[in-house]
C-alpha cells in the first residue's frame, strides 16, 4: 500500500515513443544520449510544440546508472574520469565502494539562477576557521552523468551560458573562492530550447552546441487531433497509458543500450571523413567542430541502427543537424532550414 502511494506521488512522464511528429528533435536527443560527446542539442521552435515534454520523456526512458552511494556528484564506481576527488582517493587506495542504481538525473536550470546556484559554493568561514573544505554542490554537480535542460536558453545571462558551455566541453566544473579551489566532474548532455522570436543566441555560443534541431507547429489537422487525443488519454489515466506504451518504450530502451555498447567498435571509412570535411569546407564552416560532431553523430546513428560501419545514408540523416547552425549568414536571416546543407551534401557525395 505504501509503495502504491509512493508511485502515485511520482509525477508520470508522457512516454517518448508516443510523441507524434518532431522527428528531428527526437533523433537529436537519442543520438546525444547514445554519445554525449556530440555536445548537446539546441532546440528552437514555436511555443507549445512539446519541447519540454520530449526532453523529460527521453530522460525517463534511459536505463538506470550505477553510482557511488551518498555521493553528491553521481560518481562512477570504476571510471576515474567520472569520479569526485574524494571518491578517486578511496578507489585508488583499493578500498571498497558501496554503490546504488539511480535514474539518469534530469536537471532543470531556471532562468533566474545565480552563478552560485549553478556552480556550487565554498563555505569560506568554515575553511578558514576549521581548515576544512566545505562545498555545497550546485546544479552542475547534480547533472553529472545526466541531462541538463535550459528552457529559453536565449534569454539566459551570457556569463551563465559561458559557464555551462565550458563545463559541457571540459566535463569538469571548478569553483575558486579566496584561494580555495574545488573541482568535480560535470559531464552531461546539454539541452537548450527557445523560441527564435525571443532572440537568437550569439553565433559563438550557438557553435558550441553539437546539434541544432528546428521544430514547427504541426499543420496537418489529422495529426493535430491525434496529438490532442493522446494527451487527453494520458491525462485521464496516466498509469494505464504508460502500461499500453511499455512495449514500444522497452524496445527503444534496448535499442539505445545496444547502441551505447557497440558505439566504440563503429568505424567510418577515411573517404567518408574526407567528404564530410569537404562539405564543411564548401559551406565555409568556421573551425573544425562541424567536422568532429558530424563524424560522431554519423557513428551514433549507425550504432542506433545496429551497424558497425558508417554509410553515406548515416551521414545524410545527421549532417544537417550538425551543420545548419554553423553556417555564416546575414544577420537578418534566420538559421538555414537545412536545404543548403543537403544541397552541398548531394553535390559532394554525388
Q: Could you give the residue numbers annotated as active site? A: 289
Helix (H, G, I), strand (E, B) or coil at 105: coil
Q: Rounded to 5 degrees, what are φ and ψ at 336?
A: -55, 135
The three cell numbers locating residue 221: 489537422
38 contacts: CB under 8 Å, gap ≥ 6: 31, 32, 210, 211, 293, 296, 297, 300
Q: What span, in angstroms and rounded, lies between the C-alpha atoms of 221 and 233?
A: 18
The three cell numbers locating residue 306: 545496429
Q: What span, in angstroms and rounded, lies between the C-alpha atoms of 323 and 317?
A: 12
**By the 8 A CB rule, do 144 and 74 touch?**
yes
Helix (H, G, I), strand (E, B) or coil at 64: coil
- In whole angstroms, how far apart are CA 4 and each of 1, 238, 239, 240, 275? 5, 14, 12, 14, 56
**By the 8 A CB rule, do 304 and 254 touch?**
no
- In whole angstroms, how far apart are CA 238 and each of 8, 49, 164, 241? 10, 20, 34, 5
Amino acid at each position: 500500500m505504501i509503495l502504491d502511494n509512493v508511485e502515485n506521488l511520482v509525477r508520470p512522464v508522457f512516454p517518448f515513443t508516443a510523441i507524434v511528429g518532431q522527428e528531428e528533435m527526437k533523433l537529436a536527443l537519442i543520438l546525444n544520449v547514445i554519445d554525449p560527446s556530440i555536445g548537446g542539442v539546441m532546440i528552437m521552435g514555436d511555443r507549445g510544440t512539446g519541447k519540454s515534454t520530449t526532453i523529460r520523456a527521453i530522460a525517463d526512458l534511459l536505463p538506470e546508472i550505477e553510482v557511488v552511494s551518498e555521493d553528491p556528484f553521481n560518481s562512477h564506481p570504476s571510471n576515474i574520469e567520472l569520479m569526485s576527488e574524494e571518491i578517486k582517493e578511496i578507489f585508488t587506495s583499493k578500498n571498497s565502494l558501496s554503490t546504488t542504481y539511480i535514474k539518469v538525473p534530469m536537471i532543470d536550470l531556471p532562468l533566474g539562477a545565480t552563478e552560485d546556484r549553478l556552480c556550487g559554493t565554498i563555505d569560506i568561514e568554515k575553511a578558514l576557521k576549521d581548515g576544512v573544505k566545505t562545498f555545497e554542490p550546485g546544479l552542475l554537480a547534480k547533472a553529472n552523468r545526466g541531462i541538463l535542460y535550459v528552457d529559453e536558453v536565449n534569454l539566459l545571462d551570457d556569463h551563465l551560458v559561458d559557464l555551462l558551455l565550458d563545463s559541457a566541453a571540459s566535463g569538469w566544473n571548478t569553483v575558486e573562492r579566496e584561494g580555495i579551489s574545488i573541482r568535480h566532474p560535470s559531464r552531461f548532455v546539454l539541452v537548450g530550447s527557445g523560441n527564435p522570436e525571443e532572440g537568437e543566441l550569439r553565433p559563438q555560443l550557438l557553435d558550441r552546441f553539437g546539434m541544432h534541431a528546428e521544430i514547427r507547429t504541426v499543420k496537418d489537422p489529422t495529426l493535430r487531433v491525434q496529438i490532442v487525443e493522446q494527451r487527453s488519454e494520458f491525462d485521464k489515466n496516466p498509469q494505464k497509458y504508460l502500461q499500453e506504451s511499455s512495449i514500444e518504450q522497452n524496445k527503444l530502451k534496448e535499442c539505445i543500450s545496444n547502441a551505447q555498447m557497440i558505439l566504440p567498435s563503429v568505424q567510418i571509412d577515411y573517404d567518408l571523413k574526407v567528404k564530410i570535411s569537404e562539405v564543411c569546407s564548401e559551406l565555409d564552416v568556421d573551425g573544425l567542430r562541424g567536422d568532429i560532431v558530424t563524424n560522431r553523430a554519423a557513428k551514433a546513428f549507425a550504432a542506433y541502427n545496429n551497424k558497425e560501419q558508417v554509410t553515406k545514408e548515416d551521414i545524410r540523416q545527421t549532417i544537417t543537424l550538425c551543420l545548419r547552425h554553423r553556417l555564416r549568414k546575414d544577420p537578418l536571416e534566420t538559421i538555414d532550414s537545412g536545404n543548403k546543407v543537403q544541397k552541398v551534401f548531394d553535390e559532394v557525395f554525388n
